[in-house]
Amino acid sequence: MQDATAQMAMLQFISSGLPKVAVPSTIHCDHLIEAKDGGSQDLAKAKDINKEVYNFLATASAKYGVGFWKPGSGIIHQIVLENYAFPGVMLIGTDSHTPNGGGLGGVCVGVGGADAVDVMANMPWELKCPKVIGVKLTGELKGWTSPKDVILKVAGILTVKGGTGAIVEYFGPGVDSISCTGMGTICNMGAEIGATTSIFPYNHRMEAYLRATERSKVAELANQYKHLLSSDEGADYDQVIEINLSVLEPHVNGPFTPDLAHPISKLGQTAKQQGWPLDVKVGLIGSCTNSSYEDMTRAASIAEQAMKHGVKSRSIFTVTPGSEQIRATIERDGIAATLREFGGTVLANACGPCIGQWNRQDIKKGEKNTIVTSYNRNFTGRNDANPETHAFVASPEIVTALSIAGNLAFNPETDTLTGKDGKPFKLDSPYGDELPSQGFDPGEDTYQAPPSDSSGVSVDVDPNSQRLQLLSPFDVWDGKDLDDMTVLIKVKGKCTTDHISAAGPWLKYRGHLDNISNNMFIGAINIENDTPNKVKNQLTGEYGGVPDTARDYKSKGVKWCVIGDENYGEGSSREHAALEPRHLGGRAIIVKSFARIHETNLKKQGMLPLTFANPADYDSIQPEDKLSLKGLKDIAPGKPVECVITRKDGSSSTITLNHTMNDAQIGWFKAGSALNKMAGK
């Protein structure tokens, strides 16, 4: 669990009344560190500002038998790859990029915090049996093409929802040309196509990584059972994609969505046609997706070439090490010094700008600009809360090259740069070491193991705290139909969990449900006026913010629902995007389709996640309509729900809604939430 989601997960676990977690569990402090001045300064500030939260997580971990990785340890997915993932493991994590562990042949799935609580409470974790998409890799990576380009290409093919309900399995002769951490990169960003998880077959690259991270015994065991950890010959996949790595171009995806794929040879022309800003303001490398030793050495090789010609980064340049082990190793081997000399700032071992934890100073909000990152996600406003920032996603080496040129139209495979002496020069292909020749430097020990006896450990939550709040049970369903629900907002277009529950400065309230609910739907676009956070209060006729309007409805006993479009809830695993609507009086979310994790999160909190049987019915609902869900006492798996739409003029029509709830999940709805059900309410 990462610290932003672990707060609510541990608060829910405490509510269960259980004395200890039933399975090995860890918490990783990576989300609450804001990037501004540099690693050590930002880390020190975060420890001070978040002292209350860190103390809660540390003591709760000790009390309930959970391992605790302190602030500065690194990003959860890199630490999992270095310490916990192994071929054949099944692991869940409260972050959508948990599939990173597929780079070591594990079945690693991102879930919401409530799912984690179930597992920690020794309850079964369930998942609808996924399809399997096969990606056959032939040829081999070479030149400027990197593992990141594989998933950027796949995202362009499948789009942000093409992997929903599926596991992506990579196979074929091209697999062996990809490093273990490169496979992790590909699996990590599989979250951006909606995949349940992604996985690679066990091979010698994984064995080398296991041995380098002091897990030789695991490698030897995996070698014995390699036949069970490989893709099956002649497997019958639901869909097969074939990619020839030998001809795959470097890709840059964006802006505003990670599936808008551009081969580097076509990016400049497209950018000019679309009017995207060509001036690259900031280049950012690292993050959980691309911060391996190999990534850092390849980026440094490009920086070294430029500096030999008297050239440094024209763009602001930042480096995010994925873990304390990576930070310590690149410091020891001079890589960090090279990147600093190039003009880079080495940030803390944390998520930072990737999740909006970035105190950006070089532009004003609302200023149109371009940034290029080696991150995984680039939704509107995600990195810096500026909706006019055009964020593009690429490999670390392409980000470095574009930062040298300072121009989005630069193609390092064909274009030249001008050295300090005025002469043109061309960058050679990047090169780097897959693993450090001197082994990894573990750096500072930042792990706190749970004590064998925790009877003396106390976990206190100040009732006046603005950061933490003990949970109260949600109300139990009254057994009646949901009649005349008000439409809080009809969302236009993409509605990610960032739109529903923004991150960035709001992360500090992740342990306080009432406070963080003040960000509910503030990024979602209201179809009525094409504006975020401005909806009509159907009781007063006045326009106001979405959270304020919802609070007014709740105070007056008005039940409400939300209408949404395709792939609703894509993105982060954050369950706050389900908790907040439930807390503020929401009863149902009605959309064309859901992203997997968010749909489950809604079920867990006693909300009704419903889809239009006929997607065109989305257009038939107006913001002032009243919606009634009929026959709920007879709701059953596979049985559609009747929805009566009553219009302002008194006329009405009936549409059909579908759901995917099984008997147990229907039980959560009737009990008011899964936690209520667990507690026997």
What is the set of active-site residues?
Answer: 30-31, 95, 377, 572, 574
Cα(259)–Cα(343) distance, rounded to whole angstroms? 30
With beta carbons less than 8 A apart as the criterion, state whether 261 and 267 touch. Answer: no
Spell out the alpha helix ranges (H) of 213-263.
216-224
With beta carbons less than 8 A apart as the criterion, state whether 330 and 443 touch. Answer: no
Compute and round to an integer the Cα radius of gyration of the chain: 25
Cα(140)–Cα(119) distance, rounded to whole angstroms? 40
Cα(221)–Cα(346) distance, rounded to whole angstroms? 38
Owner of token pair 């239009």:
612
Q: Phi-psi region for residue 384, left (φ > 0), alpha (ψ -120 to 50) or beta?
A: alpha
Spell out the alpha helix ranges (H) of 320-435.
324-332, 335-341, 396-405
> Sign (positive/negative) of CA torsion 185, 209, 355, 508?
positive
With beta carbons less than 8 A apart as the criterion, state whether 543 and 534 touch. Answer: yes
Owner of token pair 């984690």:
116
Cα(634)–Cα(618) distance, rounded to whole angstroms? 25
With beta carbons less than 8 A apart as the criterion, state whether 153 and 222 touch. Answer: no
Helix (H, G, I), strand (E, B) or coil at 440: coil
With beta carbons less than 8 A apart as the criterion, state whether 75 and 538 touch. Answer: no
Give how far Cα 165 sits from Cα of 101, 131, 610, 625, Å: 18, 6, 17, 32
- State which amino acid sits at residue 411: N
Here the tokens at position 410 are: 């630069």
- State which amino acid sits at residue 526: N
Burial class (CB within 10 angstroms; exposed 0-12, middle 13-18, buried 19+) of 401: buried
Work out the number of other CB atoms within 10 angstroms of the CB of residue 236. 8
In terms of Cα–Cα distance, which of 532, 522, 519 is closest to 492?
532
Give how far Cα 121 sits from Cα of 3, 31, 114, 589, Å: 19, 25, 10, 28
Dihedral of CA atoms 304, 305, 307, 311 in degrees, nearest 10, equals: -140
Here the tokens at position 301 are: 């090789």
Task: Give yes or no for a cis peptide into 255 (omega within 30° of 0).
Answer: yes
**371 bridge partner residues:** 282, 391
Cα(240)–Cα(229) distance, rounded to whole angstroms? 20
User: Residue 559: CB partners within 8 Å, gap ≥ 6?
Assistant: 482, 484, 485, 486, 553, 585, 586, 587
Here the tokens at position 677 are: 């059900």
With beta carbons less than 8 A apart as the criterion, state whether 257 and 379 touch. Answer: yes
| Polymer length in residues for the chain | 681
With beta carbons less than 8 A apart as the criterion, state whether 187 and 148 touch. Answer: no
Spell out the alpha helix ranges (H) of 236-357.
264-274, 293-308, 324-332, 335-341
Helix (H, G, I), strand (E, B) or coil at 40: helix
